[in-house]
Amino acid sequence: MTSNDAPQDAIQPWPSLVIFALAMGGFAIGVTEFATMSLLPYFAKDLHVDAPTAGHAISAYALGVVVGAPIIAVLAARTSRRTLLMALMGVFAFGNGLAALSPTYHWLVAFRFLSGLPHGAYFGIAAMVASSLVPTNKRTQAIGQIFLGLTGATVIGVPAANWLGQQVGWRWSFGVVALLGLAALALVALLTPRDTPDKEASPLRELAALKRPQVWLTLAIGAIGFGGMFAVYTYLASTLTDVTHVSSLYLPLVLCAFGLGLTAGNLIIPLFADRALMPTAGALLIWTAATLALYAFAAHNIWLVTFDVFLIGCGGALGTVLQARLMDVSGEAQALPAALNHSAFNTANAIGPWLGGIAIGAGFGWTSTGWVGFALALGGLVIWLLSVVIDSRIEGDPKLIEDPAE
């Protein structure tokens, strides 16, 4: 069966309500992923550790995403998607609830790792469910609407969680996220159609997707091409202070601009992707490279850098586009590649800041992160071009359509 699992005459009614339920889970995940960065000073002080050490709680979540996505996707191959989504949200809510009660720093790190385990699998399975509810020519739009929960978290949820953490303590922020996870679980249970597990599904069939070169190339596009966005985002506060020379009070404004860019991108870009998926991915990589190169010049003016950060955020729709691409190149094994998409982006979240830190440490200045991002986006574009060439080769040889791993 194709990536759009529902036949055209079996499209589910009220897909918007189902997508809203799935996006609610994305919102909860987005709040805990991004808000923790802004809450770091508070839980570091309360748990009696320094800021660099407290940062390991953020890394633990990312590690949970990378580890959990493939393992859960493979082991749960024969589980119905609705049941799996509910279980994932349950674990997510439980992990955040425990994080709110952490007695020590080490327990917080452990609970953050637990909270991250469902992340990649949730988005991967949610994308598959959403795409099965709509016609093929609206598949990427449906996936983009799920990601609106994640992008909306950067605009609304993160500032709210940060404010709550300041007013009544960081533990309450994690507690609220746990409640959001439970609310998402309830909505998924109420609104998501019941489905029957694929009788032919198995862990071995999911692992077979890793034999396909196009799966690896698509994941590599995200892991490399997306890294530059994280390089800039990570050091944005320091850049505003030392290069733009503005008060830290402007940081929420610029972060909000980034979130608005992510939201706009996921609303608009899928309209083009549903018509021409790979050309849209290539155009987004070029867009990202251009906006990251502009960052080095725009950083000296608060209004220019805010606008440029908005444009950089628009390029975040690449995640949605690549999610749809993985459905096209994965054959029958859909769950594992879909989940690995988020492992790839967490890899980008490690590569970008690491290379940006090297450039800053070498004396090239805070704005050098824009040039690091420019290079990474071009690297993603090279991988994209290789993928396009392979597509052309497969189309020219009918035998390769049946066995693209040759």
pLDDT digits (tens, 9 = 90+) for 86-112: 999 999 999 999 999 999 999 999 999
Tokens matching residue 15: 């897909």
What is the C-alpha to C-alpha distance for residues 271 and 123, in angstroms, rounded to an integer? 20
Residues 6+ apart with CB under 8 A from 50: 44
- Mark out the alpha helices in 226-317 (DSSP H runs): 227-234, 236-239, 251-273, 277-298, 302-314
Q: List the CATH code of the domain at 202-406.
A: 1.20.1250.20
Mean pLDDT of 389-394: 84
- Residue that wins the pLDDT comparison between 389 and 73: 389
What residue ranges of the chain are covered by domains with CATH 1.20.1250.20?
Answer: 1-200, 202-406
Tokens matching residue 165: 């953490």
Please check whether the domain covering 1-200 is classified as CATH 1.20.1080.10: no
Q: Is the dihedral of CA 316, 351, 121, 23 positive or negative?
A: negative
What is the C-alpha to C-alpha distance for residues 378 and 26, in angstroms, rounded to an integer? 29
Mean pLDDT of 361-368: 90
User: What is the three-class DSSP state of 363?
Assistant: coil
Mean pLDDT of 310-324: 92
Mean pLDDT of 150-172: 84
Mean pLDDT of 254-270: 90
pLDDT digits (tens, 9 = 90+) for 228-249: 888 888 788 788 888 999 887 7
What is the C-alpha to C-alpha distance for residues 345 and 226, in angstroms, rounded to an integer? 7
What is the C-alpha to C-alpha distance for residues 186 and 166, in angstroms, rounded to an integer? 29
pLDDT > 80? residue 178: yes
Measuring CA to CA, how many Å separate 172 from each of 57, 102, 160, 163, 260? 17, 12, 11, 11, 26
Tokens matching residue 349: 């979240």
Mean pLDDT of the chain, nearest integer = 86
Measuring CA to CA, how many Å separate 136 from each of 3, 18, 147, 193, 337? 9, 17, 18, 19, 19
At residue 149's C-alpha, the angle toward residues 86 and 252, to 5°, is 135
pLDDT > 60? residue 256: yes
Nearest to 229 by CA among 315, 335, 158, 146: 315
Confidence of residue 23 (pLDDT cuts 50, 70, 90): very high
Confidence of residue 253 (pLDDT cuts 50, 70, 90): confident
Residues 6+ apart with CB under 8 A from 319: 147, 222, 226, 341, 345
pLDDT > 80? residue 41: no
Within 10 A of 147 (CB to CB), how many other CB atoms are there? 28
User: Which range (209-213, 309-313, 373-377) has the least confidence?
Assistant: 209-213
pLDDT > 90? residue 151: no
Mean pLDDT of 172-194: 92
